[in-house]
Amino acid sequence: MAVIGWIGLGNMGGPMTANLVKAGHRIQGFDLSQHALDAAQANGVTIVGSPAEVVSGADVVFTMLPKGDHVRSVYLGDGGLLALADTKTLLVDSSTIDIESARAVHEAAAAGGFRFVDAPVSGGMSGAEAGTLTFMIGGDDAYVAEASEYIKPMSRNIIPTGGPTTGQAAKICNNLMLFINLASTAEGAVLADRLGLDKKVFWDIASVSSGDSWALRTWYPLPGVVDTAASNHDFAPTFTAELAAKDVGLAIAAAQATDTPLVMGERVAKMFAALIEAGEGGKDCSKIVQLVDGTLANSSSGNANAEGTSHDAN
Ligand code: NAD
């Protein structure tokens, strides 16, 4: 049994810690949300009252926080993990964050004599619950190997990505492709429908043809085709438009830093911004289909060209 500290018990951190409890570990969990704490406690997490108690006696501490700003504030500064923890404790950040914040924490951790890896995940809430997440881990080889042992109960795939920040780089690029695929699926789906194709017949073709993608198979944005897709449930979120906008924003920030043109990424960012501006940021990201078919409330003829993107580069 290991003693595992955990900060961030939300949609992902909640079910991830539940799997670590099932694997026999003691989890010392902390969150700012009482709702998150109550749910984690019901899953067997030992709730503690501060980051200082999270790190106390911990073999490893994980963080699973929304954005780079949260990660910086939890690790850095006087009350941060690097000031509180013993250098014997391994530190793992599994949040999806910007490269610059990941680099800042790597550098501060190394300067303080800590072992730290960036280890973002793919697989969503369902993968977190099933313990089938893909972890992409950046950092020193020895630290990555050490972190992998603790990660096993939460994962199906553990992939070392190289040096510091490469886990975040992999995650950012993967999600850029995911959301471009989602937008292309929305356009193909609506056009096929308007050309008189049966929705299921078209899906049956595309899913075994060159139009196939994970987004098509899992998030098909027209109802009545993929049972579990949010389009069948009034776009109740499996992955919010706000989170999608954040992730595409991370790719755009990384592209600007590397002088990489992202024509498709910029366009998809505008689609999510239009959803958010219409007050739908908390709905599922596949709702961008309504920018294609023109049914989005407050949108004039599917205004996918809305300017003034609100994506956050964190
Ligand atoms: P979430 O908002 O549900 O959970 C984040 C939790 O962090 C919240 O409970 C919040 O109260 C807590 N928190 C914020 N600041 C804190 C602080 N200073 N101290 C303690 N707790 C604090 O988000 P989530 O869906 O669990 O996502 C977490 C990360 O995982 C994000 O970076 C997200 O992009 C990434 N991710 C999410 C999914 C998904 O499907 N939801 C999939 C893959 C990756």
CATH number for the region 170-301 comes to: 1.10.1040.10
Query: What is the whole-number distance in angstroms between the Cα of residue 67 and the centre of ligand 1?
Result: 8
Spatial distance between the Cα atoms of 93 and 109, rounded to a whole number of angstroms: 12
**In the CATH hierarchy, which fold is given to the domain comprising 3-163?**
Rossmann fold (3.40.50)
- Residue minimizing CA distance to atom 25 of ligand 1: 11
| % the chain with pLDDT above 90 | 91
Residue 197, C-beta contacts closer than 8 angstroms, at least 6 positions apart: none
Question: From the centroid of its chain, how far is CA 278?
Answer: 23
> Is residue 160 very low, low, confident or very high in pLDDT (cuts 50, 70, 90)?
very high
Q: Give kind and range of the element (H or E) at residue 3.
A: strand 3-7
Exposed/middle/buried for residue 307 (C-beta within 10 Å: 0-12, 13-18, 19+): exposed
Question: From the centroid of its chain, how far is CA 191?
Answer: 30
Question: Residue 122: beta bridge partners?
Answer: 134
Residues with CB under 6 A from ligand 1: 7-13, 30-33, 36, 64-66, 70, 73-74, 95-96, 121, 124-125, 239, 243
pTM for this entry: 0.91
Query: What is the whole-number distance in angstroms between the Cα of residue 224 and the centre of ligand 1?
Result: 31
What digits encode the pLDDT tens for the residues 211-228?
A: 999 999 999 999 999 998
pLDDT for the residue 164: 98
Name the token pair of 86.
Answer: 């013993």
Query: What is the whole-number distance in angstroms between the Cα of residue 125 and the centre of ligand 1?
Result: 11
8 A C-beta contact, residue 121 and residue 129: no
| % the chain with pLDDT above 70 | 95
Residue by residue, what is the 3-state secondary structure of 223-255? CCCCCCCHHHCCCCCCCEHHHHHHHHHHHHHHH
8 A C-beta contact, residue 248 and residue 256: no
pLDDT for the residue 297: 78
What digits encode the pLDDT tens for the residues 107-156?
A: 999 999 999 999 999 998 889 999 999 999 999 999 999 999 999 999 99
Of 12, 32, 50, 101, the residue with max ligand 1 atoms within 8 A of its CB, to mutate for a pocket test, comes to 12
The 10 Å CB-count burial string (b at 16+, else e) for 174-197 is bbbebbbbbbbbbbbbbebeeeee
8 A C-beta contact, residue 157 and residue 233: no
DSSP character at residue 123: S
Query: What is the whole-number distance in angstroms between the Cα of residue 8 and the centre of ligand 1?
Result: 6
Q: Which ranges of the chain does DSSP label H, i.e. alpha helix?
A: 13-22, 34-42, 51-55, 68-75, 81-84, 99-111, 124-130, 141-151, 166-194, 199-206, 214-218, 241-257, 263-277, 289-293
Positions marked catalytic = 171
What digits encode the pLDDT tens for the residues 7-17?
A: 999 989 999 99
Of 11, 95, 248, the residue with max ligand 1 atoms within 8 A of its CB, to mutate for a pocket test, comes to 11
DSSP character at residue 154: G
Give the angle 34-233-9 at the CA atoms, nearest 5°: 20
- Residue minimizing CA distance to atom 36 of ligand 1: 96
8 A C-beta contact, residue 6 and residue 36: no
What digits encode the pLDDT tens for the residues 29-63?
A: 999 999 999 999 999 999 999 999 999 999 999 99
pLDDT for the residue 305: 41
Sign of CA dihedral 170, 128, 285, 7: negative
Listed by start position, the domains of the chain span 3-163, 170-301
- Residue minimizing CA distance to atom 4 of ligand 1: 10
